[in-house]
């Protein structure tokens, strides 16, 4: 079964850091681009970052550029999001999603992990 | 920054046709994608590359494109189609993704 499972969410103080992970299974992880999308409580979807299959191409939304770092380990079938200098407005459910090419549909999504930034 | 504009809500009776639009300046050059999201669940892809339907998605879901507007059409709406729907596309450079603000479909 094709599956993405996020982990690493939790409660963190403003200015703090958190590292999210996304474990992939059921497909050839190294052949796909991967993405992070977040959703603040009661709000819409917001694209956060994307990384190509070999990590050659990495892009960020302006709202997280310079604070978040996306990475992947194809040997471990895992995607990561290092989040630094967290702000209250980063509070959201964070989803990982795969896409066949960089500019392609997000065809498989994880169930999401909640990040709460609060003092 | 690039934006995609959707109506906040659409309401239809069961069996009728629902149309949800999404407007953006780069849509003539970039494909659009549509996602369905039910409460407490992750989004599900329902249309890709403007009008293609993934396997497992009912035929009543279709997509079309005209100029700077793309449209998700749900024919013969069923109660189970009640959900939030989001369009997605890339900016003109093809490097940054954008989601529309979402449309809540209510089945009366």
Tens of pLDDT along B31-65? Answer: 999 999 999 999 999 999 999 999 999 999 999 99
CA closest to B85 among chain A residues: A44
Tens of pLDDT along B20-31? Answer: 999 999 999 999
Q: What is the mean pLDDT of chain B?
A: 97
Set of chain B residues whose Cβ sits within 8 Å of the Cβ of A96: none
Q: Which residues pair with A82 in a beta bridge?
A: A19, A69
CB A60 within 8 A of CB A46: no
In three-state form (DSSP H/G/I as H, E/B as E, the rest C), the secondary structure along B17-73 is CEEEEEECCCCCCCCEEEEEECCCCCCEEEEECCCECCCCCCCCEEEEEECCEEEEE
pLDDT of residue B90: 95
Q: Do A103 and B1 lie within an 8 Å CB cutoff?
A: no
CA closest to A93 among chain B residues: B42
B32: tokens are: 């659009």
């Amino acid at each position: 079964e094709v599956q993405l499972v996020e982990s690493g969410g939790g409660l963190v103080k403003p200015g703090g850091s958190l590292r999210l992970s996304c474990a992939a299974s059921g497909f050839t992880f190294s052949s796909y681009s991967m993405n992070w999308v977040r959703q603040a409580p009661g709000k819409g979807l917001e694209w956060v970052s994307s990384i190509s299959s070999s990590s050659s191409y990495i892009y960020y939304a302006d709202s997280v550029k310079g604070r978040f770092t996306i990475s992947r380990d194809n040997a471990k079938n895992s995607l990561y999001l290092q989040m630094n200098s967290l702000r209250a407005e980063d509070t959201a459910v964070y989803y990982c999603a795969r896409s066949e090419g960089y500019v392609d549909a997000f065809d498989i999504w994880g169930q999401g992990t909640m990040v709460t930034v609060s003092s | 920054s690039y934006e995609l504009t959707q109506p906040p809500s659409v309401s239809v009776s069961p069996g009728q046709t629902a149309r949800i639009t999404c407007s953006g300046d780069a849509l003539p050059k970039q494909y659009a994608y549509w996602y369905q999201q039910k409460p407490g669940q992750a989004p599900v892809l329902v249309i890709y590359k403007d009008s293609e339907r993934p396997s497992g998605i009912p035929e009543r879901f279709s997509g079309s494109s005209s100029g700077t507007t793309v449209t998700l059409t749900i024919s013969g709406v069923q109660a189970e189609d009640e959900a939030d729907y989001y369009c997605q596309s890339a900016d003109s450079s093809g490097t940054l993704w954008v989601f529309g603000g979402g449309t809540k479909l209510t089945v009366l």
